[in-house]
Amino acid sequence: MVVAGLCFGVMGVFVKLGSAGFSTAELVFYRCLAGFLFILLVALPARRPLWVPWPAMKVHLTRSISGFVSLMLYFYAIAHLPLPTAVTLNYTSPLFLMLLTALWLKQRPHRGQWLAIVVGFAGVALLLRPTLDATQWLAGVVGLGSGLLASVAYMNVHELGRLGEPEWRTVYYFSLVSSVGAGMVMLLQRAPMTPIDFDNVWLLLGMGVAATCAQLSMTRAYRKGKSLIVASMAYLTVVFSTLFGMLIWGDVLPTSSYAGMLLIVGCGILSSTMLRKG
């Protein structure tokens, strides 16, 4: 999950750079298309089966659709809210995952898991310092929706691991569904598509490679580990993204942001300690 967090941070850099020339739907489309093509080029020569029986396929579809809609809602929130607020709302997903695990799966989280997730979210709030105007309530609800649907996707990723589904096939179906969904949104847009040339193709390639590595790493983490422990370590993405902002764009952070980073790192250490014990 640490590797996934780093790769998601790198992906965010390319998304930020690419957003100056590409629309949201285009970025989502190219992000997911890269993963789809990569998995396809690896799986077909190796003759790995892409089709699965219906019980597993149903979970694949639930994971893929919830993940895609969550991604679109997240990008909508980014477009209509301050970036720190949109990120904070999206990272409510571990809190929702904890509630879904207790209510849906009837699995009561340990005290340490509650503590790790709450401490991590407090660190995110301190680091990003979100704000929300009264007129932005709809975008705020959309941002919360992205976090809720992301938790549904993560729970289904864990279920796919329990069913024995490999990481590459989980990423394959998510990339396929998201590429088709984003492609349909692109077709409905009235604005012409941004042409791809030598000046911007490297942004799309970098975003696609980073996103695919992040998806594969995250899927393996949820497949092999305990969902709530893995979810609490997902907050490290915020730390990596913030550090990239400081190094590349010269962002200046207040003292509270550094305190937030320490809380997030402490959340990761607490989670890894529970992982070794469990």
Comparing C-alpha atoms, which of 242, 235, 232, 243 is closest to residue 117?
Answer: 232
125-177 pLDDT, tens digit each: 998 888 888 888 899 999 999 999 999 999 999 899 989 999 999 999 999 99
State residue 144 phi and psi, 5-degree precision: -65, -35
Cβ atoms < 10 Å from Cβ of 125: 16
Each residue's pLDDT tens digit, 185-232:
998 887 788 999 999 999 999 999 999 999 999 999 998 888 888 888
Q: Round the CA-based radius of gyration of the chain to a whole number and report it.
A: 18
Task: Please give the mean pLDDT across all residues of the chain.
Answer: 89
Q: Are 36 and 175 in contact (CB under 8 A)?
A: yes
Which ranges of 163-235 would DSSP assign to H, the alpha helix? 167-188, 201-224, 227-233
Question: How many Cβ atoms are within 10 Å of 189's Cβ, its own excluded?
Answer: 12
What's the pLDDT at 12? 87
Contacts with 85 (C-beta within 8 Å, 6 or more apart), sequence order: 77, 128, 130, 131, 132, 140, 143
pLDDT 10s digits, 63-81: 999 999 999 898 888 878 8
> What's residue 260's pLDDT?
92
Look up the pTM and report it: 0.88
Tokens 């796919």 belong to residue: 160
**Domain boundaries along the sequence of the chain:** 2-277
Q: What is the pLDDT of residue 266?
A: 87
